[in-house]
Amino acid sequence: MKYPECARVVRASHELYRLYFEGQEFAATLSGRLRMESTTLPVTGDWVELRPGTNAIDRILPRSTQFSRKAAGDAVAEQILAVNIDTIFVVTGLDGDFNPRRLERYLLLVNDSRASPVLVLNKADLCPDLVPVVNEARAIAAGAPVLVISALLGTAIEQVADLLSPGETAALVGSSGAGKSTLVNRLLGRESQRTSEVRESDSRGRHTTTDRELILMPGGWWLMDMPGLREVQLWASPHALDSSFSDVAELAVQCRFRDCTHAFEPGCAVRGGIDPARLESYHKLQRELHHLARQTDINVAQAEKRKWKQIHKSMRHVDKRK
């Protein structure tokens, strides 16, 4: 086949890639130059340039958005989950999966990615009293849309598709068992993604989606179904906290002291106007983000030190040869 000059990565797995361009999908590899010169590999959602006349990916084009988390384990490293996403649907089940504090973490990462967040409350048919749950979700969403649906029954799923226009890209994130794959199948109108039952004890499911893949939807927009995340470790700027907790930021301007920490100061407008559990979560996330920033600064400094040490070593080697 005649390969295009650029295409979009619709699936990436262990340096094996599937690309899409104008209705055609084909396999691709990495060029030797990209392997040698780039510290970042293509991920699902990337736009890439190909070496002329080949299927070798030669360059990753600039990303408009980037949704990341801290990689699992002790290492201070970023794990990129999705790129070039316009809207991220944070999906939670109302069968026991609903966890306000975990949703706050998801929304913080989405806000930092520059994508638009939408909170999707799935399995509405299993919730005996929707009103208090929806009200709490709206408080957490801080102005982002909140959709109440049942993917299994097909109830109100058109709300999801109505938020996307042809050519745009969305992603589904959330815990295993939240119903993301069932929602994909409903939106497609056919069984494309595998689904599995959740455990009755904790409403959690197995990872039926194992890779991130872009799926072209009937409305001409793209949807990425991602594996459920067991850990939502933060990888974001401290500034993202204000977007996710806009209610705190709005009340903070009324505090007596400009540098109020909302912890103990007299005349604090936040402590009396915010749910204590949400304020406690705000402080916890703030501490995590500042700790991450310090760790990142240390890693950057150490990397810079190793770089100059290697340069000086090379220079001494050159001097000796003279």
pLDDT in tens, 157-213: 999 999 999 999 999 999 888 999 999 999 998 766 555 455 454 445 444 545 789
Asked if residue 204 and residue 107 are part of one domain, the reply reads: yes
Q: Indicate whether 129 and 161 sit together in one domain.
A: yes
Tokens representing 20 are: 């899409």
Q: Can you tell me which residue has the tokens 């990615």?
A: 113
Asked whether residue 158 is domain-assigned, the answer is yes
- The C-alpha atoms of residue 47 and residue 202 are separated, in whole angstroms, by 39
**180 contacts 209 by C-beta, under 8 angstroms:** yes
> What is the token pair recorded at 193?
């993604």
Rounded-to-integer distance, Cα 213 and Cα 13, Å: 10
C-alpha 300/C-alpha 296 separation (Å) is: 6
Give the span between the Cα atoms of 216 and 205, in whole angstroms: 25
- Residues 36, 108 share a domain: no
CA distances from 282 to 29, 115, 116, 175, 230 (A): 43, 21, 21, 21, 21
Residue 51: give the domain boundaries.
6-60
Q: Does residue 215 share a domain with residue 111? A: yes
- Both 219 and 72 in a single domain? yes
d(CA 100, CA 97): 10
Please report the pLDDT score of residue 312 as a whole number. Answer: 52
| Residue 196, CB-side half-sphere exposure with 13 Å CA sphere | 14
Among 225, 246, 270, the domain boundary falls at 225
Tell me: do 73 and 148 sit in the same domain: yes
108 falls within a domain? yes
Residue 13 belongs to some domain of the structure: yes
Residue 278 domain-assigned (yes or no) = no
Contact predicate 28/55, CB 8 Å: yes
Tokens of 276: 């204590």
Structural domain tally of the chain? 2
Residues 6+ positions from 167 with CB-CB distance below 8 Å: 220, 221
Instruction: Say yes or no: 10 and 87 in one domain.
Output: no
Q: Are residues 128 and 154 in the same domain?
A: yes
- CATH number, position 20: 2.30.30
Residue corresponding to tokens 């501490």: 287
Position 291 in a domain? no
DSSP type of residue 155? B
Shared domain check, 187 and 119: yes
Interatomic CA distance for residues 212 and 207, integer angstroms: 12
- Residues 52 and 132 occupy one common structural domain: no
Pairing state between β 56-60 and 213-216: unpaired
- Distance CA(241)–CA(252), nearest Å, equals 13
Residues 156, 46 share a domain: no
What CATH number corresponds to the domain at position 125?
3.40.50.300
> Is 161 inside any structural domain?
yes
**Is position 25 within any domain?**
yes
53 and 88 assigned to the same domain: no
Going residue by residue through the chain, which has 322 residues, state the pLDDT in tens, using 9 for 90 and above: 788 899 999 999 888 899 999 999 999 999 999 988 888 899 999 999 999 989 999 999 999 999 998 877 777 778 899 999 999 999 999 988 899 999 999 999 999 999 999 999 999 999 999 999 999 999 999 889 999 999 999 999 999 999 999 999 999 999 888 999 999 999 998 766 555 455 454 445 444 545 789 999 999 999 998 887 776 777 787 778 888 899 999 999 999 998 899 988 999 999 989 999 999 999 999 998 888 888 876 654 555 455 555 655 555 555 555 5
Report if residue 258 sits inside a domain.
no
pTM: 0.82
Among 202, 225, 248, the domain boundary falls at 225
